[in-house]
Homo-oligomer: A and B are copies of this chain.
């Protein structure tokens, strides 16, 4: 029968400990908070009694007074998706070391849900938020107001830049250009692109990188070879299916996928069409998902330092909260090209 009043929790308060000892609540407060100016004997008595009674400080009450919750909100499109678990691990590590904890939320890539969870995080008075946004319009008013309200925000991976909040991401555009040029240097000319929604920051940046590489090397960008779809395996599968419906002579000889999950889906589609990778169609991805070196053939891709990105974003947020590194900045972590076998080569043949 641990509960007396079904609507109340039965946790011990400062006042109750104080009453047991015939001292004031204030003295108990001082004792449990290691304040100076407490007689060492009374302090000892208090701490013993508090422990025996199972006293646990009530951070809800504390937060109400201090306006700090030591909690940060983390807003992510898909918790279990590809590189996000590693990002979260990085975030958790940094945040834990500063005595904060994370309220983890999932938006299912849906901006309406995103707004809903952010409102909930606001109501819970988190000290700041780490956000990977699924916003797909260029109407940033919602975030502008959020930032204007004084809420510390750091965007990561899928950023909304230059509206007053810091952004931690990778060099998406340059890396996408690099991996595209890698294909070009291997002799491919007719190259397709499997895109995610381009309104999402990474969608645009990576597509831009692809275009720059093509144009710089004097290759045509053929709209028929560019398919926009979701950021997951199914999105890649369906997009590739579309490309494969083109007459054989119009098909791309190589394909750049916006991320690894899309590449995996596309690889399945290529195999289902009884074509070979890379002999018939070469393919490259972006992420260096845990599966990238296990698929057949192993996927050439861009390694994204997910764990480090999480750490960096969390550090920046905590600095912003504590007004140390208060300045807004855009940080680009550097990726590296990981060449495996899915890109093959047209040279020396």
Q: Is the CB of B79 within 8 A of A7?
A: no
Q: Is the CB of A88 within 8 A of B104?
A: yes
List the B side residues contacting A6 at CB < 8 Å.
323
List the B side residues contacting A120 at CB < 8 Å.
101
A2 at the B interface (CB under 8 A): yes
Bitwise interface map of A from 199 to 221 toward B, beta carbon under 8 Å scored 1, else 0: 00000000000000000000000
List the B side residues contacting A80 at CB < 8 Å.
85-86, 88-89
Say which one of A51-59, A175-183, A274-282 lies at the interface with B.
A51-59
Q: Is the CB of B102 within 8 A of A103?
A: yes
Say which one of A17-25, A247-255, A289-297 lies at the interface with B.
A289-297
Most chain B beta-carbon neighbours within 10 Å: one of A7, A8, A69, A92: A92
Closest chain-B Cβ to A171's Cβ sits at a distance in Å of 23
Q: How far is the CA of A56 from the CA of B149 in the complex (A)?
A: 11
Bitwise interface map of A from 88 to 103 toward B, beta carbon under 8 Å scored 1, else 0: 1100110010000111
A122 at the B interface (CB under 8 A): yes
Q: How far is the CA of A80 from the CA of B220 in the complex (A)?
A: 41
Q: How far is the CA of A149 from the CA of B12 in the complex (A)?
A: 10
Closest to A8 in B: B67
List the B side residues contacting A11 at CB < 8 Å.
125, 149
Query: Which residue from B58, B84, B123 sits with its C-beta under 8 Å from A123?
Result: B58
Q: How far is the CA of A9 from the CA of B2 in the complex (A)?
A: 37
Closest to A90 in B: B80
List the B side residues contacting A60 at CB < 8 Å.
60, 63-64, 69, 124-125
Q: Is the CB of B9 within 8 A of A67?
A: yes
Closest to A306 in B: B80
Q: Is the CB of A103 within 8 A of B149?
A: no
Q: How far is the CA of A59 from the CA of B122 in the complex (A)?
A: 9
A61 at the B interface (CB under 8 A): yes
Q: How far is the CA of A92 from the CA of B96 in the complex (A)?
A: 21
Q: Is the CB of B101 within 8 A of A9?
A: no
> 21 A-B Cβ contacts within 8 A?
A6-B323, A9-B150, A10-B149, A10-B150, A11-B149, A54-B145, A59-B123, A59-B125, A69-B124, A71-B103, A74-B104, A79-B85, A80-B89, A85-B85, A88-B104, A92-B106, A101-B124, A103-B103, A104-B104, A290-B291, A294-B295
Closest 6 CB pairs of A and B: A294-B294, A2-B150, A80-B85, A85-B85, A80-B89, A104-B104
* Residues of chain A having any CB pair with chain B under 8 Å: 2-3, 6-11, 54, 56-61, 63-64, 66-67, 69, 71, 74, 78-80, 84-86, 88-89, 92-93, 96, 101-106, 117, 119-125, 145, 148-150, 290-291, 294-296, 323
Beyond A10-B150, A103-B103, 6 additional pairs, beta carbon < 8 A: A11-B125, A11-B149, A69-B124, A89-B106, A101-B121, A291-B294
